[in-house]
Amino acid sequence: MADTQKPVVDYALCMACGICATECPLSCIALRKTDIDADPKAYPVLDDYYRCTGCTRCEKACPVNAIRMA
């Protein structure tokens, strides 16, 4: 049985809008403050790796294509 693909965020593209976290039906994505840029924003992280089913809703909802399944 193959492993389910999980979302990977490209933080260079991500605008920290939070749509992906809202769209996740299992609430696997959390927004966390980071120091990725000079203005700390809450960026998405896969908070519950094992609960994620790889449904791709987060990937499809991202307005800047910053999420890909891998």
Domain for residue 35, yes or no?
yes
Domain for residue 28, yes or no?
yes
Is the pLDDT at 41 greater than 60? The verdict is yes
Domain for residue 1, yes or no?
no
Residues 44-68: pLDDT tens digits? 999 999 999 999 999 999 999 999 9
CA distances from 44 to 24, 29, 52 (A): 11, 6, 14
Indicate the residue type of 10: D
In degrees to the nearest 10, what's the CA dihedral of 3, 6, 10, 14? 170
Domain for residue 60, yes or no?
yes
pLDDT of amino acid 35:
74
Here the CATH number for the domain that contains residue 40 is 3.30.70.20
- Could you say which DSSP state residue 19 is in? H
Residues 24-38: pLDDT tens digits? 999 999 999 877 777
In whole angstroms, what is the distance from residue 58 CA to residue 9 CA? 10
pLDDT of amino acid 43:
93
As for how many domains the chain has, the answer is 1
In whole angstroms, what is the distance from residue 28 CA to residue 26 CA? 5
pTM: 0.87
